[in-house]
Structure 1
């Protein structure tokens, strides 16, 4: 079995559906079915049972599917090791990056890094910070960039920290907030919890939600057009001209701070590409240079 075969088993085990797995792998259903049959022939055992509600793995198939993550990680490690034996950073760097960092910081970061290490390629997975944290924890990516204080036990770098702010088009007073329309947006659960805890600790009534939008950038644009106020991360609000900002303060009188971290595993530094990337990011003023 090659790397593609292990990825097929991993995807089938996650999707439990031939059609969805084929779409995810960018394969036709006949091609996927044929490859499964070849794997079954190689092991001389049936691996899947097909039914009206999808597929079910046989015990042999489930065992192989559970080995897929380990085998893919091992194959990636071998490939990285071979590609870096000449002591020059090369190969594929697997990154997990939060949505906000992907939009606002990642393009320039990757360009600057590749200018210095042109033989390094990137495979980037984006999502909410909690998802990136799990990808890093499960070793599906080598480096994770997340926003929020997740409980990571391995080595990490603090990239920057920012205050949470009330942002509004016109100057407002804090005690006016329950009567004013607030623009809500989809965000990571950890940030939502921080905001909700601050609100319930400050006010006795629920916020008046004027509209709900897809992301913080959209919220900022609505605020800039005077359609309500938003509770935004400082790195976004501070770069928006013309907004009035009120930094949030916790019950102890300290600023309410959100941190952005780079997570990695010690053994991932065996890859020269990872080692150089961690060192490169550590030298940057991440907040102001990107």
Structure 2
């Protein structure tokens, strides 16, 4: 019984068949079958239910699968720790960046980091905020900038920036001359939201629920410049973080929201209790210095 046996077993369980696992691992199906038979014999259990053409984990198989995930992750982290004993800071970091947040926060921090740590490469992983959280939780991304509070309890977060949401209306809107508006005043309008993979979308929908209405969503997008263009072309209203309006405020009406304070809170997140390489610690220190995290 060795780690490779458990890696093969985990892959078969996740693929749901020997044939798919064979393609993913580039190993012939007979060899996979022999590996599983050998593992079952050594453990004294049946790992897969193959009856009635149904392929699924047995109860014992489910337990072994959970333990295999933990064991393989621990060995992965052990390898990282051993490679990181050297005091010289080098390596590779995957940084999760939702599209909007990346534009505003990453360049300044990246410049400060790469100037000091030239032998650490930064790989940008661009996804919606909620997807980025999941990648950090799975250990597939080392660190990320996201909207907080996060939905995952497995993440450790630190606030680095906060700004209010504002309402963006077409120039011809009935409330164009108002200084401030309540969200409920816009409940009859068409709304333009960010895609549901964006944490911003959840913030906006929750804010509308607080004022007892569900917005009529005419468009949703992953592109904030497209969102502003849709507002400019009188296709709906939008509620967005105020920093976005500083770049694309032409030909739209920007109004403060009087009915509630909706904060855009940006934080840096890592997985709780995960080993932090020297490169990751250095990255977090730079973020702390740049954004004055207490």
Q: TM-score, normalised by structure 1?
A: 0.72
Displacement, 1:51?
Answer: 7.0
* Pairing partner for 1:258 from 251, 261, 264: 264
C-alpha distance in 1, partners of 2:192/2:154? 35
Report the 3-state secondary structure (helix = DSSP H, G, I; strand = E; otherwise coil) of the residue aligned with 1:184: strand
Report the 3-state secondary structure (helix = DSSP H, G, I; strand = E; otherwise coil) of the residue aligned with 1:75: helix
RMSD: 3.9
C-alpha distance in 1, partners of 2:111/2:32? 39
Report the 3-state secondary structure (helix = DSSP H, G, I; strand = E; otherwise coil) of the residue aligned with 2:89: coil
Report the 3-state secondary structure (helix = DSSP H, G, I; strand = E; otherwise coil) of the residue aligned with 2:269: strand
Larger Rg: 2
Structure 1 stretch 260-269 or stretch 240-249: which is displaced more?
260-269
Match of 2:166 in 1: 165
Q: Tell me, which stretches of 5 or more residues in structure 1 are unaligned?
A: none
Q: TM-score, normalised by structure 2?
A: 0.71
8 Å Cα contact 1:166-1:229 kept in structure 2: yes
* Pairing partner for 1:196 from 195, 205, 209: 205
Number of corresponding residues: 276
CA separation of 1:16 and 1:99: change in aligned 2, threshold 3 A: farther
C-alpha distance in 1, partners of 2:7/2:189? 51
Q: How does 1:71-220 map to 2 (within 5 A)?
A: 71-102=71-102, 105-106=105-106, 109=109, 113-121=113-121, 127-137=127-137, 139=139, 141-150=141-150, 152=153, 155-170=156-171, 172=173, 173=175, 174=181, 177-188=186-197, 191-202=200-211, 207-209=215-217, 211-217=218-224, 218-220=226-228
Match of 2:286 in 1: 280
Displacement, 1:85?
Answer: 1.6
C-alpha distance in 1, partners of 2:40/2:32? 12
